[in-house]
Structure 1
Amino acid sequence: MMDTEQAQTHASGRNTDTATLGRGVRLPRTERRAQLLAAAQEVFAANGYHAAAMDDIAERAGVSKPVLYQHFPGKLDLYIALLESHVDTLVSTVQQALASTTDNKQRVRNAVRAFFEFVNNDVGAFRMVFESDLRGEPAVQEAVDRATSASVDAITETITADAGLDEEKARLLAVGLVGMSQVSARFWLANSSMSLEEAVSLTSTLAWRGIGAGFPLSGRD
């Protein structure tokens, strides 16, 4: 069943429209949703959740409020959808980092880099995931927890396969690597003038010396 925006597009004899901002421009549903999420990110980053208004988000996206509500029933729904998209990006980046090489020293470096780049590339996204002021909301807390748990799961699987450890021990190491990466990246962003490359190198060297020195991984110093 088509929503109002899709129905208007269909009635006009066009299946898709140019993906540009502005009122009256009809977009495919997925493109409109992405546009609304991008506008919401800007408003939430500027004002915080509580001060952000759906009117402001609609105006920033260049759409009417009814169009915004067709996609997101309320502000919390919009916030959670945006948060989930950021978590998906982080988890996917960690998974790709682990899958990009079979050398475990480089895997550790890549995993650390995934967190530093996530923090560095989109400060608003990082703050929503790691510094959300809505953690008392169960759906928000669940999404925030997934950012850590899914990353830990991916690293645990890799360590179990390559180091010959049981899952409990591998998971403890994975939690340590994820925690170190998160905290170090956040500290670096807020307090350090060193380059991203140097920060990643220092943190990953510390992680590798600990993991690589104690377990028979394939990477070499």
Structure 2
Amino acid sequence: MQGLTSLMERLERKEREYNARRAQILEQAEKIFATKGFHNVTMAEIAAASGFSIGSLYQFFEGKENLYTTMISEKLDLMYAEVRKAPAAAADVIEKIEMLIDAHLQFVEKNTNFLLLFIKGEKTSSSEDMESLNKKLAYGYYDHITFIENLLKDGVDRGLLRSLPPRDMAEALFYLIRASSVTWMIKSTKESLLSRKKFIMDIFLYGVKKND
């Protein structure tokens, strides 16, 4: 029994070490891809930045494109998970909207390298990895808009929001957040992106028409 416990502990330690090294590679790759673009990066550069040999890198990823698509895919999963978790702590629909916006903006601030890759919008190839990623991007966007739609529909049903199509409102809110995020990254301002939350809330809830 003691031998089995010792074996399990060794296996768990190896798994932790493997995951830590893999995460280190993905982190360095994200920085380099964001700076130089997919086509101008080599596996040798990523290996050097990560502190591994090229041979070791291929123990984790099949090649540059597999590394790139894995990085994008896993970061998207993280973004959606964090953003969707945030509104759960809010008491009412308006607060849920605020928490949703806040989570989006916080993620952008913490992951500017990742979002810069989206601004560049580079195409790699039509490989199986890339086709799989493109499908995930499409389905991920659809699911996320549906999540926001359901949140807003609850507000409409409760009479807290105007009786407008929740899907259209969800897309409008998402693109308000996206536009503010992209502008902030392009300008490279020292101002926190979170300072835009009040503006996004104001435009989304009240529009631009001056009240009489």
TM-score by length of 1: 0.73
Aligned counterparts of 1:40 and 1:193: Cα–Cα separation in 2: 25
Which of the pair is proportionally richer in helix?
Answer: 2
Greater CA deviation, 171-180 or 185-194? 185-194
Shift in Å, 1:147: 4.9
Q: Deviations over 1:85-104 (max 9, x none)?
A: 22112211220222121322
CA contact (8 A) 1:55 1:65 kept: yes
Aligned counterparts of 2:119 and 2:134: Cα–Cα separation in 1: 10
Structure 1 residues 113 and 59 mapped into 2: Cα distance closer, same or farther (>3 Å)?
Answer: same
Identity %: 22
Shift in Å, 1:73: 0.5
CA contact (8 A) 2:108 2:115 kept: yes
Amino acid at match of 1:204: M
Structure 1 residues 36 and 46 mapped into 2: Cα distance closer, same or farther (>3 Å)?
Answer: same
Aligned counterparts of 1:30 and 1:197: Cα–Cα separation in 2: 32
Match of 1:187 in 2: 183
Match of 2:108 in 1: 119
Q: Tell me if 1:75 matches 2:59.
A: no
Match of 2:78 in 1: 89
Q: Tell me if 1:205 matches 2:202.
A: yes
Structure 2 unaligned spans of 5+: 1-6, 159-163, 208-212
Greater CA deviation, 122-131 or 136-145? 136-145
Task: Please point out which of 128, 137, 157 is paired with 2:150.
Answer: 157
Q: How many residues align?
A: 189
Structure 1 unaligned spans of 5+: 1-9, 18-25, 211-221
CA contact (8 A) 1:97 1:110 kept: yes
CA contact (8 A) 1:153 1:171 kept: yes
Superposed, 1:1-221 pairs within 5 Å as 14-15=10-11, 16=13, 28-134=17-123, 137-164=130-157, 169-191=165-187, 194-209=191-206
